[in-house]
Amino acid sequence: MTAEFGHFALILALCLALGQAFVPLLGTLRANRLWMASARPMAYGQFVFAVSSFICLVMLFLGDDFSVRYVAENSNLNLPDRYKVSAVWAAHEGSLLLWALILSMWTFAVALFSRNLPLELVARVLSVMAMIAVGFYLFLLFTSNPFERLLPFSPVDGKDLNPLLQDIGLIIHPPMLYMGYVGFSVAFAFALAALMAGRFDAAWARWTRPWTIAAWAFLTLGICLGSWWAYYELGWGGWWFWDPVENASFMPWLTGTALIHSLAVAEKRGLFRSWTLLLAILTFSLSLLGTFLVRSGVLTSVHAFAADPARGIYILVFLAVVIGGSLLLFAFRGQTLQRTASFNWSSRETFLLGNNLLLVVAMGVILLGTLYPLVADVAGWGKISVGPPYFNWFFVPLALILAVIMAVGSVSRWKHHPPAMLASLALWPALVSIVVSAGVLFIHGYSFALLPLVSLAVAAWVVIWSLRDWWRKSSSSRGRLAGSRRLRGSYYGMLLAHIGIAVAIVGVTLTSHYSEQRDLRLSPGEAVSVAGYDFEFRAEERIRGPNYVARRGRFEVLRRGALIAELNPEKRYYSGGGQVMTEADIDGNLRRDIYVALGEALEEGGAWSVRIYVKPYVRWIWLGGLMIAMGGGIAMVDKRYRRLAQTRPRSEAQAGVEVSGTEQQITEGSGAQQQRNG
């Protein structure tokens, strides 16, 4: 019965979403407040049914109901309970249900926290979100129903979850990623609402900002978790492969990053309006594209599409409707929102424009590299793959330029910041960062090369600018503590995220250039020295896990004769599906990771092929990512966004540049700007 309940709840959620998509929208056309007000209760109802449906699927997994095809294919009796729950989103159907659930959660949140917004706007936003939900519910019900039964011949036991996915990282990675993907639907819905209304004002940008930042922070976290999981679970020791699946999540992150910055300009200065809307549409479109690229199987093969034509065609049509429809609306209404205001080329606006351009260019380059093999295959140009050198060749310089601009931009002033003043600010950070960079390489005894030298210098540059800016802004006649308290949460969020970028750059640079990796043949009793560490292969033993048996190697790691770690990498053989899995063992701290993985047994009871890595500062990559996400979290809860949403008059569109200019000093200018003015 549970499966039928879940199915039924899904249908009810669809019905409510249909109502929510059209009734409030019609209400805005007919100025019927009752119809508009119906958006909220329907959003609540949709949420309740989506949650019920999802819970039903979780219950089916926990209850080992293998008469349900999806459960039989992704779970089995021996699977530990926590993995039974995560198996819910391990494959196509369940992950789409998770998507729909998270969309209903965001819709619920918007309905709940939009008390201060004009009813018309809420009605439009919620109906756009419901339209997307309708698309997903229909897709689930007609092509990818997770509640489909295998009757009358249902298996006694299921097939088991792919062992790669039996991991804590993969329990939380997809929900985080989807929180990000789907969260951008809020910005998207706000953008479409602005286009429908033909009105775009500073208040609009202010309301949209915390939602966008929240989604972006979740996406950051999701990408970090994915990278971390690939690092320790795939057994190759890499943290980013420029794999299409990774690119699919990275592209919306790049445009999302551009969006949160252009929203700042739109709010503070009333500029970049139609560009901001376009970015909101683009970001969500890339999120949709990412979801479908990864989940439809089109990446592994164009033929996976042909194998299930109903799904493939539905996806294409859905993407065309959402992306095409929103772009069409943008083409008709985007121009009417245009505002011109002048700003000097040397100003914060210019730096943020540069940020936006670079981010979008980076996204375009990655999009090209990701989709080109698909296009070539369909067009019959042969089967090709695009290697990491292509992506690195473009992305590394773009990212470094971006970081340089970022540091200066975050300190510069709106409208006009005399270039001579900026140049005088830049002089000593430039010198110091080069010295620091060279010093770091020298202390570690690393070889000097241009790229690591420049990259580390850029990281130091970012930190210096950020901290100096904080130092100046936090100075106060009542002491440093009072001064630093006076600064806004959104400022601290920005500071943390920018320094996080620098930390990640350090990690990426040092790991990429100075890792030592060795694949070799080792028998028990033998030892090898890698990067100043001695690795002794002590013994091999056999162990038994809940749903696998494993052969485990015991390695002792010594540094100058002293034992510093014992590592136990495993080779697991899963009984359910017969899969083999490499479980690497890592001894890590902030300075370096020591990584040992077993390859294969070369002879019975004897030699193994063993993979040994020493990776300096690799954890800084994810530490930086965490700082970026936390920065987003801190900025998001800044009270300013909410308080002003209440009190601002809605007709700010007329006010133009002057109002935005003064407002900036009132709201954020607690720092240096006000002091300089005063």
**Measured distance CA(400)–CA(509) in Å, rounded:** 11
SS (H, E, C) 452-503: HHHHHHHHHHHHHHHHHHHHHHCCCCCCHHHHHHHCCHHHHHHHHHHHHHHH
Confirm or reject binding of residue 578 to other proteins (CB under 8 A).
Answer: yes
Report in angstroms how near the CB of residue 608 gets to other proteins at its nearest.
10
Instruction: State yes or no: cis peptide before 546, omega within 30 of 0.
Output: no
Distance of CA 308 to CAs 88, 144, 438, Å? Answer: 21, 11, 56
Which helix (H) or strand (E) segment holds residue 535: the answer is strand 533-544
Considering only residues 16 through 35, tell me which ones interact with other proteins, judged by CB under 8 A: none
**Measured distance CA(283)–CA(425) in Å, rounded:** 34
DSSP secondary structure code for residue 651 in this structure: G
Among 8, 22, 394, 446, contact with other proteins (rule: CB under 8 A)? 394
Confirm or reject binding of residue 425 to other proteins (CB under 8 A).
Answer: no
Among the listed ranges 209-217, 365-373, 410-418, 440-448, the one in contact with other proteins (CB under 8 A) is 365-373
Among the listed ranges 44-52, 186-194, 258-266, 387-395, the one in contact with other proteins (CB under 8 A) is 387-395
**Measured distance CA(333)–CA(478) in Å, rounded:** 50
Confirm or reject binding of residue 375 to other proteins (CB under 8 A).
Answer: no
What are the backbone angles phi and psi of residue 42, rounded to the nearest 5°? -70, -35
Report in angstroms how near the CB of residue 592 gets to other proteins at its nearest.
22
Report in angstroms how near the CB of residue 304 gets to other proteins at its nearest.
8
Among 8, 22, 343, 372, contact with other proteins (rule: CB under 8 A)? 372
Report in angstroms how near the CB of residue 599 gets to other proteins at its nearest.
3
Report in angstroms how near the CB of residue 352 gets to other proteins at its nearest.
17
The SS3 of residue 517 is: strand
User: Closest CB to other proteins among 164 and 653?
Assistant: 164
User: Closest CB to other proteins among 391 and 620?
Assistant: 391
Confirm or reject binding of residue 577 to other proteins (CB under 8 A).
Answer: yes
Report in angstroms how near the CB of residue 377 gets to other proteins at its nearest.
9
User: Closest CB to other proteins among 380 and 561?
Assistant: 380
Among 355, 582, 664, 667, contact with other proteins (rule: CB under 8 A)? 582
Burial (Cβ within 10 Å: 0-12, 13-18, ≥19) of residue 475: middle
The SS3 of residue 378 is: helix
Confirm or reject binding of residue 519 to other proteins (CB under 8 A).
Answer: yes
Contact by Cβ (8 Å): 632, 497: yes
Considering only residues 262 through 301, tell me which ones interact with other proteins, judged by CB under 8 A: 300-301
Q: How far is Cα of residue 401 from the mean position of the Cα atoms in its chain? A: 22
Report in angstroms how near the CB of residue 365 gets to other proteins at its nearest.
5
User: Closest CB to other proteins among 163 and 180?
Assistant: 163
Residues 6+ apart with CB under 8 A from 526: 536, 537
Among the listed ranges 24-32, 148-156, 169-177, 382-390, the one in contact with other proteins (CB under 8 A) is 382-390
Structure tokens at 24: 């409030």
Among 421, 527, 580, 590, contact with other proteins (rule: CB under 8 A)? 580
User: Closest CB to other proteins among 130 and 581?
Assistant: 581
Confirm or reject binding of residue 335 to other proteins (CB under 8 A).
Answer: no
User: Closest CB to other proteins among 386 and 614?
Assistant: 386
Confirm or reject binding of residue 605 to other proteins (CB under 8 A).
Answer: no
Structure tokens at 579: 């899969």
Number of residues that bind other proteins (CB under 8 A): 40
Tokens 């159907």 belong to 93
Report in angstroms how near the CB of residue 522 gets to other proteins at its nearest.
10
Among the listed ranges 216-224, 515-523, 549-557, 637-645, the one in contact with other proteins (CB under 8 A) is 515-523
Confirm or reject binding of residue 521 to other proteins (CB under 8 A).
Answer: yes
Report in angstroms how near the CB of residue 230 gets to other proteins at its nearest.
13
Considering only residues 62 through 101, tell me which ones interact with other proteins, judged by CB under 8 A: none
DSSP secondary structure code for residue 89 in this structure: G
DSSP 254-296: HHHHHHHHHHHHHHHHS-SHHHHHHHHHHHHHHHHHHHHHHHH
**Measured distance CA(228)–CA(317) in Å, rounded:** 34
Among 382, 445, 525, 605, contact with other proteins (rule: CB under 8 A)? 382
- CB atoms < 10 A from the CB of 55, how many? 15
Confirm or reject binding of residue 371 to other proteins (CB under 8 A).
Answer: no
Report in angstroms how near the CB of residue 571 gets to other proteins at its nearest.
8
**Measured distance CA(310)–CA(316) in Å, rounded:** 10
**Measured distance CA(408)–CA(350) in Å, rounded:** 11
Among the listed ranges 11-19, 368-376, 461-469, 560-568, the one in contact with other proteins (CB under 8 A) is 368-376
User: Closest CB to other proteins among 345 and 420?
Assistant: 345
CA-closest candidate to residue 515, choices 438, 423, 619: 619
Confirm or reject binding of residue 606 to other proteins (CB under 8 A).
Answer: no
Q: How far is Cα of residue 350 from the mean position of the Cα atoms in its chain? A: 26
Fill in the amino acid letter for 38.
Answer: S
Residues 6+ apart with CB under 8 A from 118: 650
**Measured distance CA(239)–CA(509) in Å, rounded:** 13
Confirm or reject binding of residue 132 to other proteins (CB under 8 A).
Answer: no
Report in angstroms how near the CB of residue 172 gets to other proteins at its nearest.
21
What does the per-residue mask of binding to other proteins show for 609-648, with x meaning CB under 8 A? x-x-------------------------------------
**Measured distance CA(16)–CA(43) in Å, rounded:** 8
Among 590, 600, 650, 676, contact with other proteins (rule: CB under 8 A)? 600
Confirm or reject binding of residue 581 to other proteins (CB under 8 A).
Answer: yes
**Measured distance CA(557)–CA(532) in Å, rounded:** 10
Confirm or reject binding of residue 369 to other proteins (CB under 8 A).
Answer: yes
User: Closest CB to other proteins among 58 and 164?
Assistant: 164
Residues 6+ apart with CB under 8 A from 539: 524, 553, 554
Confirm or reject binding of residue 386 to other proteins (CB under 8 A).
Answer: yes
Q: Long-range contacts made by residues 601-604, C-beta under 8 angstroms, separation at least 24? A: 601/551, 601/571, 602/521
User: Closest CB to other proteins among 219 and 363?
Assistant: 363
Report in angstroms how near the CB of residue 468 gets to other proteins at its nearest.
32
Query: In the complex, which residues of this chain contact other proteins (CB under 8 A)?
Result: 162, 164, 235, 300-304, 340, 361, 364-365, 368-369, 372-373, 382-387, 389-390, 393-394, 519-521, 577-582, 599-600, 602, 609, 611
